[in-house]
Amino acid sequence: MTDLAPSRRTAARRASDQVSQDPARSGRASLATSDRLQDEAPLGVDARRVRWTVDGRLVLDDVDATAPPGAVSGLLGPNGAGKSTLLRLVAGVQRPDGGRVHLVGGPVPEPGQGLGQEQGEPHVRTEDLLAMPRRRRARLLALVEQDAATDLPLTVLDAVLLGRTPHRGLLAGDSDDDRAVAAAALERAGAADLAGRLVGTLSGGERQRVHLARALAQEPRVLLLDEPTNHLDVAAQLATMSLVRSLAAQGVTVLAALHDLTLAAQACDHVVVLAPGTDGGRVVAAGPVEEVLVPEVLDPVYGVRTTVLRHPSTGRPVLTFEPA
Amino acid sequence: MRTPAWAALGAVVLVASVVLAVTIGPAALGPGDVWRSVTTHLGVGDLLGVTPPDRLPDAMVWQLRLPRVLTAAAVGAGLAVCGVVMQSLTRNPLADPYLLGLSSGASLGAACVLVLGATVLLPVAAFVGATAALVATLALAAASGRGGLAPARTVLAGLAVGQLAAAATSFVIFWSAKGDQYREILSWLMGSVAGATWTSVAIAGGAVLVLGTALACTGSLLDAFTFGDTAASALGVPVQRVRWTLLVGVALLTGALVSQSGSVGFVGLILPHAVRLLVGARHRALLPLSALAGASFLVWADTLARTVFEPRELPVGIVTAAIGAPVFAALLWKGRARA
């Protein structure tokens, strides 16, 4: 139905090229004051040494995770590794007990390389997401949860208009501008024909498109998706990931928790693998798909034996598993 | 039909309901009597060239029926708004002040002061009871699971707290009520606006005007809760602050209303549902329209309560339960079919 491979990495490349060529962008400017986040260059996410505990139990233990600007990054790992938790921490829904989460206007340094200031190589502009006012954060990052549902008789258009919340006064209603943005978001998500339907009557794939449209109505620079293909049939999974790729190609950085490793291998530019541990989820590997989705990484994490095949037409990795 | 049209219709229906309800009763009165009495008491009778009313119809309109009808309208409007807010914040379409133990808590407070003979403290006691019950319900619901308030847990917690408060109320009555206190407490428990005076209008109406209006303005905030706490937070809404502020507002308003009417059930539950079917789930329309609909509904429920078995009167809570319980059952049935 759709080829997920073309245009991969181009957006990320383009972004990094722009940054390195533009002298005005070098130097560590404060994004809050210069408001450079409003320009069109994609923004990345850089989470460092993030810790999160619940009732004294570590859920995330010093997790480093990055989402390069304009790329699709997959957050992988078995159940309980803390994928959803990490997304909620990046979205600012919960505050980590330690570590920091930055929005990065340029190439994201790999973990261990530091954020620039330690190295004296200030090529990236960053802004602390944890210190940002929540409404401003909601204008930069949108989160699509897993299985977000409502019992209310809400139309699709009204659901998408909720995405305008951070852009207007706390008590204000929909403006014409809000309606225009919502209509454009529905169009972008391929859900324009659903506008008048009730959310409760949609199929899984349709509902996912609507949630993506709601997130797009926030006009975010970063899209955080929690298992966007969960409970979808194969066609809807492919359609969803193809939509996600086209959004990334338009400059929206995507960080998606994913369960299906082959789907991640097809759709992601960059992957981060989390493993659950007795004292919290840790990152075991991060980087390009080809380097990370290999038996040496996956076998211990999932407790299986992995075989990596090549897709005959796209050349992308296809993963199969046997019991260890 | 758009929201302003519905609002205009709702307002017209409410005014007509109030006027008609005042004319209905054992003594025949006409809309003209209501008009003469109201304009005269408001001091504009001469200005409008209205002949002053006769003493008897005037006393019936101004002293007996109008305060009662207006109290019913205020209580209905306030309970409907409380219902919408509670349903939104707990993401539970079945939430209402009655179901989440607020009314039972208020009743316990009221029963205590009635038994002690400290009737002046009744509004305060009802309010304290409502707040305590709400806090207990939400604390129980939040403690019994993680990740915000799950709908089913909240209802079960409300049920537990409500039952406990009801048992405590029964104990208070059983242990210490004597003579007339029984009837007084019972009528209070079943909900009634029979004894309403202009003071009741001032308390219930004032609470609705101040707290109800404030709550009715929070539509956009409540909308953000449509897909849950996490979604609201990701939309930039300070979830905990909003939730607790609004819930305290609901507890204050419920306490004020229940202190005047006793615990009237189902208004906050079924009216918002009916209005949602007409105007959809967005709260900016839902809140004010539910208030108007709730006001008209309780005016007519109270009119039924005092006329169906004339000359005997029913507590209005029995009428709202008789209408509300089947509707509630139908909602459950519908929910089952969808799930």
**B91–A151: do the CB atoms touch at under 8 Å?**
yes
Alpha helices in A132-260 (DSSP H): 134-140, 156-161, 176-188, 204-217, 234-249
pLDDT tens digits, one per residue of B47-62: 888 888 888 888 888 9
- Measured between beta carbons, which residues in chain A are less than 8 angstroms from residue B224? 162, 165
- Reported CATH class of domain B3-338: mainly alpha
Question: Of A112-126, A216-230, B227-241, which range is least confident?
Answer: A112-126
Predicted ipTM of the assembly: 0.82
> How many CB contacts within 8 angstroms connect chain A with chain B?
91
Distance from C-alpha of B243 to C-alpha of B258, rounded to nearest angstrom: 22
As a whole number, the mean pLDDT across chain B is 87
Distance from C-alpha of B132 to C-alpha of A133, rounded to nearest angstrom: 33
pLDDT tens digits, one per residue of B128-140: 898 899 889 888 8
- pLDDT at position A31 is 43
Domain extents in chain A: 10-323
Average pLDDT, integer, range B37-45: 87
Using alpha carbons, list the distances in angstroms from residue B257 to A185, B76, B151, B205: 44, 9, 25, 9
- pLDDT at position B21 is 94
Residues of chain B contacting A, Cβ within 8 Å: 91, 93, 146, 151, 217-221, 223-224, 226-228, 230-231, 233-238, 276-277, 280-282, 284, 335, 338
Mutation for testing the A interface, residue in B235, B237, B273, B282 having most A CBs under 10 Å = B235
Domain extents in chain B: 3-338
Mutation for testing the A interface, residue in B89, B215, B222, B223 having most A CBs under 10 Å = B223
**B234–A149: do the CB atoms touch at under 8 Å?**
no
Chain B's closest residue to A174, CA to CA, is B220
Please report the sign of the dihedral spanned by the C-alpha atoms of residue A176, residue A178, residue A183, residue A187.
Answer: positive
- Reported CATH class of domain A10-323: alpha beta
**A173–B238: do the CB atoms touch at under 8 Å?**
no
Single-letter residue type at A78: P
- Measured between beta carbons, which residues in chain A are less than 8 angstroms from residue B237? 134, 165, 170
Using alpha carbons, list the distances in angstroms from residue B235 to A134, A196, A248: 8, 23, 21
Give the long-range contacts of residues B272-280, CB within 8 A, separation 24 or more: B272/B80, B272/B83, B272/B84, B272/B87, B273/B93, B273/B327, B273/B331, B276/A152, B276/A153, B277/A153, B278/B1, B278/B6, B279/B3, B279/B6, B280/A153, B280/A154, B280/A155, B280/A158
**A150–B219: do the CB atoms touch at under 8 Å?**
no
A297 pLDDT more than 90? yes
**A165–B237: do the CB atoms touch at under 8 Å?**
yes
**B236–A166: do the CB atoms touch at under 8 Å?**
yes
- pLDDT at position A28 is 38
A129's CB contacts (< 8 A; 6+ apart) are A45, A90, A92, A101, A102, A103, A137, A141
- CA A144 to chain B, closest CA, distance in angstroms equals 8
A9 pLDDT band, cuts 50/70/90, is very low
**B224–A165: do the CB atoms touch at under 8 Å?**
yes
Mutation for testing the B interface, residue in A151, A158, A174, A197 having most B CBs under 10 Å = A151
Among residues B87, B221, B107, B119, the alpha carbon closest in space to that of B169 is found at B107
- pLDDT at position B145 is 65
- pLDDT at position A149 is 82
Question: Of A1-10, A245-254, B102-111, B123-132, which range is least confident?
Answer: A1-10
Chain A's closest residue to B223, CA to CA, is A162
**A218–B235: do the CB atoms touch at under 8 Å?**
yes
Cα B125 to chain centroid, rounded:
17
B58's CB contacts (< 8 A; 6+ apart) are B33, B36, B37, B40
Residues of chain A contacting B, Cβ within 8 Å: 54, 88, 91-93, 134-139, 141-143, 145, 148-155, 158-159, 162-163, 165-166, 168-173, 200, 218
B181 pLDDT band, cuts 50/70/90, is confident
**A158–B280: do the CB atoms touch at under 8 Å?**
yes
pLDDT tens digits, one per residue of B303-320: 999 998 888 888 899 999
Question: Of A72-76, B141-145, B168-172, which range is least confident?
Answer: B141-145
- pLDDT at position A40 is 67
